[in-house]
Amino acid sequence: MRFDLKVIASWVEEGARVLDLGCGTGSLLEHLVKDKGVRGTGIEHDEEKVGKGIGRGLAVVHGDLVEEIGDYPDGQFDYVILSQTLMQVADPAGLIRRMLRVGRRGIVSFPNFARLGNRMHLLMRGRAPVSRNLPYEWYDTPNIRVITLADFRRFCRVQGFAIQREEAVISLDPAEGRTVRFWPNLRATHGIYMLGD
């Protein structure tokens, strides 16, 4: 499992109700359901990934996460997770507000665009950064925006989302990583945030 997902999993307590937006093939959900007795549901738009998730015995709904989240009743979940998908969402504030409507807490993770490697890439080569964590060329990326830790904190302040927990991590190898406390916006590859009202 990806390192940022491991961090997210560690934040979810046993038996919680979890909605995983853009759950992919369901590796995080499967871990939460099997090892933590979580009642989990995923939403995924890719047919093949949905098939794999249901194939793992998980409850997965095939559809667009922004639309699908609207159907759940208020407070249906303890956690609503959006891992590394915020960059692809047209209305991030609207989506996070919806997450906090159907869940007590939202957990959001994203690659940090402001990390030193990216800054150097732009500074030295004068080109849009392409890295292991942002592996797309400008013309073929699914990401419609780039996010930095500093930007996200400011966004939460402006929008009124309380950050209840945060972790900046360096994870160069997908499965490995460590927490970074010193100059996170310069050093972290990813930011992981727990939001509440």
Partner 1 sequence: MSEYTEADSWGGSVGRVETRFYTFGEAEPFWLECGRELSPVTVAYETYGELSPAGDNAVLLCHALTGDAHAAGYHHETDAKPGWWDIYVGPGKPVDTDRYFVICSNVLGGCMGSTGPASQKPGSDEFWGLDFPVVTIGDQVRAQKRLVEHLGVERLLAVVGGSVGGMQVLELSLRYPEMVRGACCLATTAEHSALAIAFNETARQAILADPNWNGGDYHGGPMPDFGLAVARMIGHITYLSDEAMRRKFGRRLQDRCAPSYNLEADFQVESYLRYQGRKFTARFDANSFLYLTKAADYFSISQAWGNGSLVAAFERAMARFLVVSFTSDWLYPTAQSRDLVKAMKKNGLEVSFMEIAADCGHDAFLLPNHRLAHLIASFLESTKEGRG
Identify which of residues 43 and 169 has a Cβ nearer to partner 1 in the complex. Answer: 43
Identify which of residues 76 and 131 has a Cβ nearer to partner 1 in the complex. Answer: 76
Beta strands 17-21 and 39-44, pairing class: parallel
SS3 content of the chain, % helix, strand, coil (to 5): 40, 25, 40
Identify which of residues 41 and 85 has a Cβ nearer to partner 1 in the complex. Answer: 41
* Number of residues binding to partner 1, judged by CB under 8 A: 22
User: Is residue 15 involved in binding partner 1 (CB under 8 A)?
Assistant: no
Choices 43-51, 105-113, 143-151, 164-172 (CB under 8 A): range interacting with partner 1: 43-51
* Residues 130, 49: Cα–Cα separation, whole Å: 25
Identify which of residues 72 and 155 has a Cβ nearer to partner 1 in the complex. Answer: 72
User: Is residue 41 involved in binding partner 1 (CB under 8 A)?
Assistant: yes
Closest to 12 (Cα-Cα) out of 41, 33, 42: 33
Write the binding mask 47 to 86 for partner 1: x where contact by CB under 8 A, - elsewhere. x--xx--xxxxxxxxxx----x--xxx--x----------
Strand-pair partners of 19: 41, 80
* Residues 5, 31: Cα–Cα separation, whole Å: 10
Least distance from partner 1 to the Cβ atom of residue 144, Å: 24
Q: Are 69 and 43 spatial neighbours (Cβ–Cβ below 8 Å)?
A: yes
Q: Are 79 and 19 spatial neighbours (Cβ–Cβ below 8 Å)?
A: yes
State the residues that interact with partner 1 by CB under 8 A.
Answer: 33-34, 39, 41, 47, 50-51, 54-63, 68, 71-73, 76
